[in-house]
Amino acid sequence: DPRELFTIEAKLGEGAFGAVYRGRFKMTGFVLAIKEIRIDHVTDTAAVEREIHLLKQLHHPNTVQYFGCCFVDQCIWILNSYCGAGSILDCMTLRDAPLTEAQCAIVTADALNGLAYLHEEGIIHRDLKCSNILLTLSGQIMIADFGVSERLAPDAAASGAVVGSPYWMSPEVIRGAAAGLAADIWSLGITVIEMIDGMPPLAEMPPMRAMFKIPFLPEPSVREPARVSAALLAFVHACIRKEPQDRADAESLKQLAFVS
Report, as an integer, the average pLDDT of 218-228: 97
Q: Pick from 146-160, 168-182, 220-234 the range whose average pLDDT is largest.
A: 220-234
Whole-number pLDDT of residue 61: 98
Q: Which of 81, 113, 132 is the last residue of a domain?
A: 81
Can you tell me the distance from the alpha carbon of 55 to that of 96, in angstroms, rounded to the nearest whole number? 32
**Model confidence pLDDT, tens digit, residues 15-52:** 777 899 999 999 999 999 999 998 887 877 888 888 99
**Model confidence pLDDT, tens digit, residues 83-110:** 999 999 999 999 999 999 999 999 999 9
Whole-number pLDDT of residue 43: 77
Q: Which domain holds residue 115?
A: 86-255
What residues form the annotated binding site for ATP? 35
Q: Which of 116, 147, 133, 183 is nearest to 46 (CA)?
A: 147
Helix pair angle (182-197, 101-120), 10° resolution: 160
Contact of 62 with 113, CB cutoff 8 Å: yes
Report, as an integer, the average pLDDT of 235-260: 98
Whole-number pLDDT of residue 242: 96
CATH of the domain at 138: 1.10.510.10
Burial class (CB in 10 A: 0-12, 13-18, 19+), 127: buried
Can you tell me the distance from the alpha carbon of 131 to that of 138, in angstroms, rounded to the nearest whole number? 18
Indicate which residue of 127, 145, 184, 197 is catalytic: 127
**Model confidence pLDDT, tens digit, residues 48-58:** 888 999 999 99
In total, how many domains does the chain have? 2
What residues form the annotated binding site? 35
155 is catalytic: no
Say whether pLDDT at 155 is over 80: no
Q: Is residue 260 part of a domain?
A: no
With pLDDT > 90 as the criterion, what percentage of the chain qualifies? 80
Do both 122 and 208 map to the same domain?
A: yes
Q: How much is the mean pLDDT over the chain?
A: 93
Say whether pLDDT at 228 is over 80: yes
Q: Is residue 142 part of a domain?
A: yes
Can you tell me the distance from the alpha carbon of 37 to that of 79, in angstroms, rounded to the nearest whole number? 11
Do both 40 and 156 map to the same domain?
A: no
pTM of the model: 0.93
Whole-number pLDDT of residue 33: 96
CATH of the domain at 47: 3.30.200.20
Q: Is residue 51 part of a domain?
A: yes
Q: Is residue 122 part of a domain?
A: yes
